[in-house]
Amino acid sequence: MTTTLPAYDDVVARYEPVIGLETHVELGTNTKMFCGCPTDFGGEPNTRVCPVCLGLPGSLPVANKAAIEATIRIGLALNCSIAEWCRFARKNYFYPDMPKDFQISQYDEPLCFDGYLDVEVDGELVRIGIERVHLEEDTGKTLHVGGATGRIHGATESLVDYNRAGIPLVEIVTKPVPGTGALAPEVARAYVTELRDVLRSLGVSDVRMEEGSLRCDVNTSLNLPGEEWGTRTETKNVNSLRSVERAVRSEMLRQAAVLDAGGKITQETRHFHEDTGDTTPGRSKETATDYRYFPEPDLVPLAPDAAWVAELKAALPELPRLHRRRLQEQWGLSDLDMQSVLNAGAVELIEQTVAAGATPAAARKWWLGELSRRANEAGIELADVGATPAQVAELQGLVDAGKLNDKLARSVLEGVVAGEGSPTEIMTDRGLEVVSDTGALTAAVDEAIAANPGIADKIRSGKVAAAGALVGAVMKTTRGQADAKTVRELILERLGVQG
């Protein structure tokens, strides 16, 4: 596409976007969806497989109760109705990462349906309709060999590892979301963020986008005001929160350029490229496979009875939005302050830091200050910055105990982030503890007084403010490891002046 893209403001002034999201979540169950193989991440290839998840002839699936319960809980948290009776279905297509060459999924009878999730964007509540939540199985992983950068194109062969094949995968599909205008990309991101928080609060998944346990497909279309919704494209492979936002924006711009030029949008899947931030076409609807869905004969229907669903509902945790409101009150934050905590993705981190003993103010200071700065510089999520809430609380404890001053604490934090150990260990190893040995400190003070007789005289004559210069000198000789306030008091005391 060589067309120049129009300006975003111009696009949203002329077109109305409709977005929709399909999210796949790998559940954090002990075992796979239909067999007893473990689901733990990593491991040597083909070490977590059995006849069932390898699709060997004769093997049969048996559904994992924990996965069914987790899916019902997700459905309940998303205000869905739970099917009284539903079936698994086979989705038939040939692909080597899918051992049976069909995926056990759900088709027209999802386990959960017709719900919603409220998300906040710019202080406003947007209700995202949930079409369905269903359960299926994940595929194996394919390693492409011989081509550039492991891509499928140009590869000469591929190698398949089935460790991931059969891990329970929950698919959450929104209804189309119209009316978000210029905010469409932010709404998409806010939805995935909120969904991720909900899933985390339920404890059903580790929701790590970078490891692929949370994966997003983004549907986008544009229409002229007052006209019918446009043809949508489905952008696959959108694997970070930032990418969700970028993918919607980029697809809006691309579609606007096509429409502006008098062209038509093709219904197709597109691939998002993390590096360039744009999308390229995949398969078009015309060549799409006929999946030949039919009820999975190897599994009997699911019929969650009302008592079971009620029991699961009663055990749901407080959901993130309500939880955040409660925290905001507890922490005494204004809406604006809370918003900056949210934007930084720091709610849980601060909460855990407080739980580990820090005051809310101190916890907020570290996470929104020094650590946010580092995360932004590195272009990573705050949670991945390298410090844990427990470490931050420990660090603050050292400050409160007077063992570290602010500057030293920052140096210790640098060590923590670099993985050098606990704050206490780093303080000791790097010799960063505040010099509280008054003997050593007194000697340094006396040295400074002797070296600066003029300043000493000024102080003796009552110009107490001049003490700053001597404090600086002492700090220099102690390499910053003295507590400035203590130094100042000591100088005044040695010169016989009241502070």
Partner 1 sequence: MSDLTRLTATEIAGLVATGETSAVEVTRAHLDRIAAVDDRVHAFLHVDTDGALAAARAVDERRAAGEELGPLAGVPVAVKDVLTTKGVPTTVGSKILEGWRPPYDATIVQRLREAGTVMLGKTNMDEFAMGSSTEYSAYGPTRNPWDTDRIPGGSGGGSAAALAAYEAPLSIGSDTGGSIRQPGAVTGTVGAKPTYGGTSRYGLVAFSSSLDTPGPCARTVLDAALLHQVIGGHDPRDSTSIPAPVPDVVAAAKLGATGDLTGVKLGIVSEFTGEGAEPGVLAAFRESVDTLAKLGAEIVEVSCPHFRYALPAYYLIAPSECSSNLARFDGVRFGLRVGDDGNRSLEEVMSLTREAGFGAEVKRRIMIGTYALSSGYYDAYYGQAQKVRTLITRDFTAAFERVDALISPTTPFVAFPLGARTSDPYQMYLADLFTIPTNLYGGPGISVPCGLSDGLPVGLQVMAPTMADDRMYRVAAALESVVGTFTPPAL
Partner 2 sequence: MAAISREEVAHLARLSRLAVTEEELDTFAGQLDVILQSVAQVGEVAAADIPPTSHSVPLTNVLREDVVVPGLTPQEALSGAPDADQQRFRVPRILDEDVAS
Phi, psi of 225, deg, nearest 5: -55, 135
Q: In terms of DSSP bridges, do strands 233-238 and 268-272 run parallel, antiparallel, or are they unpaired?
A: parallel
CB 34 within 8 A of CB 169: no
Give the residue with the Cβ less far from partner 2, 210 or 447.
210
Using CB under 8 A as the binding rule, whether residue 436 contacts partner 2 is answered as no
60: partner contacted, choices partner 1, Mg ion, Zn ion, none (Cβ within 5-8 A by kind): partner 1
Interacting residue with partner 2 among 19, 20, 48, 192 (CB under 8 A): 48
Among the listed residues 305, 308, 306, 302, the one whose alpha carbon sits nearest the alpha carbon of residue 89: 302
Give the residue with the Cβ less far from partner 2, 56 or 361.
56
Interacting residue with partner 2 among 1, 3, 13, 30 (CB under 8 A): 30
Among the listed residues 164, 137, 142, the one whose alpha carbon sits nearest the alpha carbon of residue 41: 164
Interacting residue with Zn ion among 11, 18, 27, 37 (CB under 5 A): 37
Tell me the CA end-to-end span of the chain in Å, nearest whole number: 73
CA dist 164 and 172 (Å) reads 19
Instruction: Using the rule CB under 5 A, give the single segment among 35-43, 106-114, 142-150, 267-275 that binds Zn ion.
Output: 35-43
227: partner contacted, choices partner 1, Mg ion, partner 2, none (Cβ within 5-8 A by kind): none
CA dist 162 and 137 (Å) reads 12
CA dist 259 and 186 (Å) reads 23
Site string for Mg ion, 170-209 (x = CB under 5 A): -x--------------------------------------
Query: Looking at residue 421, what DSSP letter applies?
Result: -
Q: Provide, rounded to whole angstroms, the least separation between the CB of residue 383 and partner 2.
A: 26
Using CB under 8 A as the binding rule, whether residue 158 contacts partner 2 is answered as yes
Q: Provide, rounded to whole angstroms, the least separation between the CB of residue 252 and Mg ion.
A: 25
State which of positions 58-77 bind partner 2 (CB under 8 A): 62-68
State which of positions 137-176 bind Mg ion (CB under 5 A): 171
90: partner contacted, choices Zn ion, partner 1, partner 2, none (Cβ within 5-8 A by kind): partner 1
CA dist 266 and 5 (Å) reads 18
Contacts of 491 (CB under 8 A, 6+ apart): 445, 448, 449, 459, 467, 470, 471, 474
Interacting residue with partner 2 among 85, 227, 334, 406 (CB under 8 A): 85
Using CB under 5 A as the binding rule, whether residue 50 contacts Zn ion is answered as yes
Beta bridge partners of 38: 31
Using CB under 8 A as the binding rule, whether residue 29 contacts partner 2 is answered as yes
Q: CA torsion, points 283, 288, 289, 290, in degrees to nearest 10?
A: 160
Give the residue with the Cβ less far from Mg ion, 169 or 241.
169
Q: Provide, rounded to whole angstroms, the least separation between the CB of residue 32 and Zn ion.
A: 5
State which of positions 159-178 bind partner 2 (CB under 8 A): 159-162, 169, 171
Q: Provide, rounded to whole angstroms, the least separation between the CB of residue 34 and Zn ion.
A: 8
Interacting residue with Zn ion among 53, 344, 413, 449 (CB under 5 A): 53
Q: Provide, rounded to whole angstroms, the least separation between the CB of residue 77 and partner 2.
A: 20
CA dist 258 and 245 (Å) reads 20
State which of positions 102-131 bind partner 2 (CB under 8 A): 103
Q: Provide, rounded to whole angstroms, the least separation between the CB of residue 187 and Zn ion.
A: 39
Q: Give CA separation, 125 vs 84, 152, 184, 185, 421, in Å.
A: 31, 42, 13, 15, 42
Among the listed residues 470, 463, 476, the one whose alpha carbon sits nearest the alpha carbon of residue 489: 470
Interacting residue with partner 2 among 24, 242, 323, 365 (CB under 8 A): 24
Q: Provide, rounded to whole angstroms, the least separation between the CB of residue 135 and partner 2.
A: 12
CB 11 within 8 A of CB 253: yes
Contacts of 162 (CB under 8 A, 6+ apart): 46, 49, 53, 54, 97, 99, 140
Give the residue with the Cβ less far from partner 1, 62 or 315.
62
Q: What number of CA atoms fall less than 13 Å from residue 110's CA on the CB side?
A: 20
CA dist 26 and 169 (Å) reads 5
171: partner contacted, choices Zn ion, partner 1, Mg ion, none (Cβ within 5-8 A by kind): Mg ion
58: partner contacted, choices Mg ion, partner 2, partner 1, none (Cβ within 5-8 A by kind): partner 1
94: partner contacted, choices partner 1, Mg ion, Zn ion, none (Cβ within 5-8 A by kind): partner 1
The residues that touch partner 1, with contacts defined as CB under 8 A, are 51, 54-63, 90, 92, 94, 96, 99-102, 158, 160, 290, 292-294, 297-300
CB 83 within 8 A of CB 302: yes
Residues making contact with Mg ion (CB under 5 A): 171
